[in-house]
A and B are shown apart, each in its own frame.
Chain A
Amino acid sequence: MTVDSGRRAGSGLIMPRRTLLKGSAALGLSGLVSAPFINRLHAQESHPLAGQKIEMNILGIAGWLPSSLGVKMSPMFADFAKEKYGYDVTFGFAEAPFADLFQKAATSLATKSQEYNIIISDSQWLGALAKPGWILKLNDIIAKNKNLQLDWYSDTVVNTYMKYPDGGEDIWGLPQEGDTKALYVRKDLVEDPKEQEAFQAKYGMKLPSTFEDYENLNAEDYEKVMEFFTRPDQGLWGAAWQYSRVYDFCTCPQLSIMWSRGGDIWDPKTGQVEGILNTEDNAKAMELYKSWLKYMPPGATNYGIAEEIDVWTQGKVATCLQWAAVGLAMITPENKDKVLVVPPPKFGKGEEAKRVYCMGGQPWVLNAYNDDAKMRVAIDFLNWWYQPETTLEYAKRGGNPTDKATLSNPDFDSINPWNRAYKFMLEPGRSRDFWHHPRYSEMLAVQQEGFTSYMTGSTESAKQALDYIACQQQQILYDDGFASAGPSDACSAASL
């Protein structure tokens, strides 16, 4: 038995050649199949959350395409996190329209809830979210994460989406979507030789029809374009700009005209509004903006973003001042070959003419009450969001990145029809944001009330409306303790 056993043991090493070949083939095949997983195991970083399942919630803006793009791309992060960090993450989404999102976020954050882990805020809300400590200050996070130390396209990006208080060094947000104003122009109209000839004959100047033409166009000449295309009998009007009382719809274009004409709205250091906002020059800016209503379809005093999209896509207006970020909705399969997106007009004449338009766009902010695991995932998410390939993918889907590397890419201008105008308006000095103060929504509500009161004829005089706004805002900032001076005695007579 022993001898036999020994022989068997010895004979085990001697395998038939066919069996050996089969075994080698199987081993090779299994090696090939498992190679990617082995590679992944090597690629995975050691991560404290590896092997865990995390549920995250993003609060975004309802009906706002750039916000939904960020949300739609989040499953890509789930794949990335699984592969790189080894944890499973799922995303839930909540949303509210612009005018209601702050309310939704604030009422949740006030209870120290981590109902929403990542929030797409509007830029002006940074102060209101930061001051009560509801969102996380990001300076330390950025210092520890190289991917977040980006070279932004201009200071406008940093000042708009990241910093509060203005001029300080504290960073509370990182840009989710960059956005500027842009002028959408009916290319089929402005490139029509008959229209060009008629325009030349009527005004003695060329009908602006290229990006460069509009880059050099001032408001006075733009008014000629609006007037020229205002043909109610043909169901066509010269322009659509926003005048609505909802949210900041009337404020953004109105402030743009004031700034472009050299006016200002407050002193962010002292909180002084009275005497800065309610000037004769700003009143003239309001009168000018109101006078443009005659080039717009009836009911333009109700126009906000959605109404503009409606009249534009139905071909009722020749030009439209709209956010670059709304390009996805403005440019449809039906009109895609008929749209030119250009910089909005300058104000003034010659060398002194300038354009300073309102910034749009939204930052990501992180809930300060996130537990450690959710905060870690949120930071991983931001790290992924600013990877060059993610940013490029975002741009290809219609989003507006804000980092210098992506925007300086030679192909960037051609990715979307509005990219060139967006980049142009993002250059320093061409766009700016208004207050990041915590009392933002209150100041805005008063301003919207005053502006629209004048635009609709409810208040006869622009100066009267401005006096009312300035006095109310001065009181708000004084009550807050931010402004050193309260409203003057003249304010007792200010009303709409």
Chain B
Amino acid sequence: MSTNSISRALDNRKFLVFALLAPVLAFFIVFNTIPTLWLLGLSFHKFSLISGTPPEFFGIRNFQDIFFNKNNIWGDLRRTFLFVVVGVSIQTVLGVLLGFLFWGSKDMPGRRVALTLLFTPMVLTPIATGTFFRFIYDPTFGALNFLLSGLFGTGVIDFLGNPSIAYWAVLAVDCWMWTPFMTLMTLAALGSVPKAELEAAEIDRLSWPQRVSMVIWHHGKFILMLGILLRTIDAFKTLDLIIPMTKGGPGQTTRLVAVELNKQSFESFNMGWSSAVSVLLLLISIAMTSIFIYILNRRRKAG
């Protein structure tokens, strides 16, 4: 191709757009589309990696098994939804409160250090966090039991071994880890509110709830909702926090859907069944994202 034809091609806007997008598209197709299609295909097969036999077409049997609650999959989904709803709600409320606190205390001495410390849990790897907390929660050697017994005389509490506590103990760690993320999103949302409008609201002597609902929410809702959406999707996949703490136990108490999926795919190597469950989770994630986007758009239109 001559220099002229190259420059002509680059002048062509359609070609330029395609050329710039091509690497990303190639990456997306190779690492996303093809594996997803492969996953979809495998979900209609019976295939165990350790059987030594090729995949056998199974029709919709895997999905039928899901419907008829094989491996108590609905129990896992129920626990997961509860984990997501309660966890993300707590993290959002605490995150927003902390966000307002830091937003309103810009002159507080040591604010930067406090913010850095606050964000630390978020940057730790979940597997390490889970391991730390397993030791912190330990009834014999754990620091938490030592503190609670010393301060309140609670006696020994088996946080991760007691089925009525374990789920909430794990959820508390998730909140400890991810509340800072919601604080960060709140600060970002508050940062997007124009100062002029806030000053105007102050001059107009709007009450705090009025300022929040009429000014701050109007500008910050998209970023905050994005934070909630990201946390929801992320909490739905919680796995690496639970594995070192309880491995889904006691019994099935903390067995979230990702924990069971990990077991079925990478311990039992049931690739057909695991693919079907993955397809279900993918559909749930798409549905949740769609609902969030719908709510945002509806409010935007209304606003």
CA distance A311 to B138 in the complex (A): 12
A102 to B266: give the CA distance in the assembly, Å: 9
Shortest distance from the beta carbon of A436 to any chain B beta carbon, whole Å: 13
Which of B85-93, B183-191, B229-237, B242-250 lies at the binding interface? B242-250
Among A245, A297, A311, A472, contact of B247 (Cβ-Cβ < 8 Å): A245
- Hey, what's the 0/1 contact readout for B203-247 against A, CB within 8 Å counting as 1? 000000000000000000000000000000000000000000011
Which residue of A128, A297, A316, A457 is within 8 Å of B50 (Cβ)?
A: A128
Min Cβ gap B69→A in Å is 9
B192, CB-defined interface residue at 8 Å: no
Could you tell me which residues of chain A, from 126 to 180, have a CB within 8 Å of some CB in chain B? 128, 131-133
Residues of B within 8 A of A479 (CB): 46
Q: How far, in whole Å, are A439 and B273 apart by their CA atoms in the complex?
A: 14
CB nearest to B138 among chain A residues: A299
Q: Chain B residues near A245 (CB, 8 Å)?
A: 246-250
Complex contacts, B156 vs chain A, CB 8 Å = 298-299
A246 contacts B247, C-beta separation under 8 Å: yes
- Determine, out of B24-32, B33-41, B96-104, B157-165, the stretch whose residues face the partner at the interface: B157-165
B residues in contact with A455, CB < 8 Å: 250
CB of A456 within 8 A of CB of B247, answer no
Contact (Cβ within 8 A) B141 A106: no
Write out the residue numbers on chain A whose beta carbons fall within 8 Å of the beta carbon of B252. 449, 453, 458, 496
CA A480 to CA B268, docked complex, whole Å: 12
Chain B residues 32 to 66 lying within 8 A of chain A, measured CB to CB, are: 46, 48-52
Q: In the bound complex, do residue A131 and residue B52 qualify as a contact, i.e. CB atoms below 8 Å apart? A: yes
Interface residues, chain A, with chain B CB atoms under 8 Å away: 99, 102-103, 106-107, 110, 128, 131-133, 245-246, 297-299, 301-302, 310-311, 316, 438-439, 441-442, 445, 449-450, 452-459, 472, 479-480, 495-496
Binding site for A on B (CB under 8 A): 46, 48-52, 71-72, 138-141, 156, 158, 160-163, 246-253, 255, 263-264, 266-270
Of the candidates B46, B162, B251, B255, the one having the most CB atoms from chain A within 10 angstroms of its own CB is B251
Residue of A nearest to B52 (CB): A132
**A-side contacts of B247, CB under 8 Å:** 245-246
6 CB < 8 A contacts A-B: A106-B269, A128-B50, A246-B247, A449-B251, A449-B252, A450-B251
CB distance from B267 to the nearest CB of A (A): 5
Q: Does B251 lie within 8 Å of A297, measured CB to CB? A: no
> Which residues of the other chain, B, contact A107 by a CB distance below 8 angstroms?
266
Given known contacts A110-B49, A131-B52, A439 and B249 CB-to-CB distance under 8 angstroms: no
Which 5 A-B residue pairs are closest in the complex by CB-CB distance? A453-B251, A299-B139, A456-B250, A458-B251, A245-B249
CA–CA, A376 to B138, complex, Å? Answer: 48
Q: Are A480 and B51 in contact (CB under 8 A)?
A: yes
Contact assessment for A316 and B249 in the assembled complex, using a CB-CB cutoff below 8 Å: no
A459 and B267 form a contact (CB under 8 A): no
Cβ-defined contact, A458 with B140, below 8 A: no
7 further contact pairs, Cβ within 8 A, besides A298-B140, A456-B253, A459-B251: A245-B249, A438-B51, A442-B270, A449-B255, A453-B252, A457-B163, A472-B71
Q: Tell me the smallest distance from the CB of A299 to a CB of chain B, in Å.
A: 3
Q: Are A441 and B267 in contact (CB under 8 A)?
A: yes
Q: Which residues of A contact B161 (CB under 8 A)?
A: 299, 301-302, 456
In the complex, A381→B105 CA distance in Å? 69
Does B248 lie within 8 Å of A449, measured CB to CB?
A: yes
From B49, B158, B248, give the contact of A299 (CB < 8 A).
B158
Whether A131 and B50, one on each chain, are in contact in the complex, defined by CB atoms closer than 8 angstroms, is: yes
B246 / chain A contacts, CB cutoff of 8 Å:
245
Chain B, Cβ-Cβ closest to A450? B251
B50 to A106, Cβ gap below 8 A? yes
Indicate if the CB atoms of B268 and A441 lie closer than 8 Å.
yes
With beta carbons under 8 angstroms apart, the residue of B49, B140, B255, B263 that contacts A297 is: B140
CB < 8 Å neighbour of B140 from A110, A299, A439: A299
Once the chains bind, are B50 and A456 in contact (CB under 8 Å)? no
B140–A311 CB distance below 8 A: yes
Q: Which residues from chain B contact A449 at a C-beta distance below 8 Å?
A: 248-249, 251-252, 255
- Of the residues A103, A106, A301, A316, contact of B250 by C-beta under 8 Å: A301
Closest to B253 in A: A458
A310–B50 CB distance below 8 A: no
Provide the residues of chain A in CB contact with B48, threshold 8 Å: 439, 480
Known: A298-B158, A457-B163. A452 touches B270 (CB 8 A): no
Distance A438 CA – B251 CA, assembled complex (angstroms): 24
- Give the distance to chain A from B134, nearest Cβ to Cβ, in Å: 8
A311 and B140 alpha carbons, distance in the complex (Å): 9
Is the beta-carbon distance between B251 and A298 smaller than 8 angstroms?
no
Q: Is the CB of B51 within 8 A of A456?
A: no
For the complex formed, measure the closest distance between the CB of A179 and the CB atoms of chain B, giving whole angstroms. Answer: 22
Contact A316 B251 (CB under 8 A): no
